Structure 1
């Protein structure tokens, strides 16, 4: 393709999540993008960071895919990125149809998405391939809780649970049963994982593979999870002088290559068969990356990766749509990323007509 302007649609741009992060990353690129933002509500901050705005039905709606394809045709979309997990799952099942319509869709295979969206399947994959992970017990009934032998542990949903929602720390069998019974009322299944490491050894790692499965690059953030914005929960440990900490979905910290950590994550991405971006959540303990979650999508840290020169959506478009040569392991800056809150004022007249 040789065109002055590349038309890119990003869905799920509201709520400060992955979609908005992708928009910000594309804005930082030197490539000339016209960004079409989509969300389910006009009251979406991310819509007002884009050049054109579209309202789509929820991903669970029967008409979602037809509406998405119609917008792709009418807006002459060159590349499509899904910015929410419900859309990722829905679009994953029709990747071939979307690409057949002439839209570049840099997304992992459905098999990778299905494995990583279910934490029980993720842990099984890690076990089968010899990678490190916390001792994990799937729970479908109260009787399964008796299989948990050591504490402290973390209870979390097997599917979903973004930003560590509905995640608990238990330090005794009584606490395990209390939280476990609550979880079973909310979910058909959840997992219990051994709490490993400490608050100072948690990382989020991005690994980017091309659509041919070849490794392009990786990057890591050593997370500061004790800051108020990045901490979901912290309690005093009964087993040591340390705090037991669960991070939120808002990552900040030191960003860089961290080769001892990223090399292990690159091996995981290649074993999975990744064909796009994946994000691995881990604690680095005794020289091993102990994996507790893999997200088969672009990251909630995409924009500040782009700030240091690691711009995943731009790299994928330039490599596969524009035919540019991308150097594997290309250089980027290292430093510290700090995050806060920002605001957008939208005049009433700009809201008029959206969602009608």
Structure 2
């Protein structure tokens, strides 16, 4: 029997972030399953062509943001809303009761998980306290003593809000760290200095999925291929003399691709981390495999920038959660899915000049 499509709202679908990834994954679900209300704050959003109803949305920091989402939900009878960027996630999390009162499902983690994982200091403390492997680190602030850092090379990055490795740097010597510290002291942000571990050729992004009641569903990993300016934030030749780190020291970007598979040697430890956190929904763990041990350097408490890659091999996290929580379908733990290389490239979209009346129609 044919079922009516579920109407869902997606925010921040432009910009190449995880909002676009959720959109692509939902489009890979069984045809006719969903009607998508796709929003972005920019008119120049090629992804509007992939949704059923395109809408312009205010920034997540705007007082009108939640009101705009809920107005769309009421107008189009939407049953779920997905965040497409971290500011949207934080706003939706703060206002989750308003969405619950409106009968709109938010497939997001508990507040405690989001607060821990969005703060890299809290993340590192959590991993250390629970016995998981993580690189050594020190806080870097205005008055920090750099002489205590003796584990070069290091990665310097903001303690919060550095998705896609924004404002993230490598220092191989004390002098390089001093130069970066001068920059850090002008930003009024708290940075951390984290030990650079492993060879970039052994980097993974790992997804662990629980339903929104906390029941484990499955896990998956992408063995990242870091080979171009698209997927590398920075790359410097290794001058430390530590050959085990490889010829190049690399920081990946938020654009991941590579070989998708189960990789139990990395997904196993990541499943235990997600369980210890109390994850509910999707969680994404960035790590490297070093001498058979998984070293975690970041946890994203949300859908991944590889969500559509996973959906291409039959591991469709947004679809699974919607089918389970809105259609009542049973999820089979450790269900089978495929494997293979998924490689990304840039595409171009020619957008004609929009008419003012068209954009007005798109707002709400």
**TM-score interval, normalised by the smaller of the two chains:** over 0.9
Q: Which residue of 1 aligns with 2:24?
A: 24
Is residue 24–residue 308 contact of structure 2 (8 Å, CA) maintained in 1? yes
Q: How does 1:116-127 map to 2 (within 5 A)?
A: 116-127=117-128
Aligned ranges 1:263-302 → 2 under 5 Å: 263-302=268-307
Deviation at 1:3, TM superposition (A): 4.5
Say whether the 8 Å CA contact 1:224–1:251 is kept in structure 2: yes
Indicate the RMSD between aligned Cα atoms, in angstroms: 1.5
Q: Which runs of 5+ in 1 are unaligned?
A: none
1:190-212 C-alpha deviation (Å, 9 max, x unpaired): 00001100111100000111111
Cα shift at 1:274: 0.6
Displacement of 1:183 after TM fit? 1.6
Distance (Å, rounded) in 1 between the aligned partners of 2:138 and 2:110: 27
Which residues in structure 2 correspond to 1:322-337 (within 5 Å)? 322-337=327-342
- How many pairs are equivalent? 355
Q: Structure 1 stretch 15-24 or stretch 227-236: which is displaced more?
A: 227-236
TM-score scaled by structure 2? 0.94
Cα shift readout 1:276-333 (whole Å, capped 9, x = no counterpart): 1010000111221101000001011111111100000000001111011111111111
CA distance in 2, matches of 1:119, 1:143: 17
Query: Per the alignment, do residues 349 and 143 of structure 1 end up closer, same or farther by CA in structure 2, a change over 3 Å counting?
Result: closer
Matches within 5 A, 1:29-178: 29-30=29-30, 32-178=33-179
CA–CA distance in structure 1, aligned partners of residues 8 and 355 of structure 2: 21
Measure the CA separation in 1 of the matches of 2:295 and 2:218.
20
SS in 2 for 1:185: coil
SS of match in other structure, 1:59: coil
Deviations 1:115-166 (A, max 9, x none): 1011011101111111110001111224242321121001011111221111
Partner of 1:15: 15
**CA drift at 1:43:** 1.3
**CA distance in structure 2 between the partners assigned to 1:349 and 1:290 by the alignment:** 48
More divergent stretch after superposition (261-270 vs 63-72) = 63-72
Is contact 1:138–1:144 with CA below 8 Å preserved after alignment?
no
User: Of the candidates 241, 254, 263, which is equivalent to residue 258 of structure 1?
Assistant: 263
Q: Which 10-residue stretch deviates more, 179-188 or 277-286?
A: 179-188
Q: Which runs of 5+ in 2 are unaligned?
A: none
Q: Is the 8 A contact 1:133 1:291 kept in 2?
A: yes
Is 1:319 paired with 2:324? yes
Q: Secondary structure at the match of 2:108?
A: coil
Contact kept? 2:10, 2:19, Cα under 8 Å: yes
Distance 1:243 1:35 in 2: 43
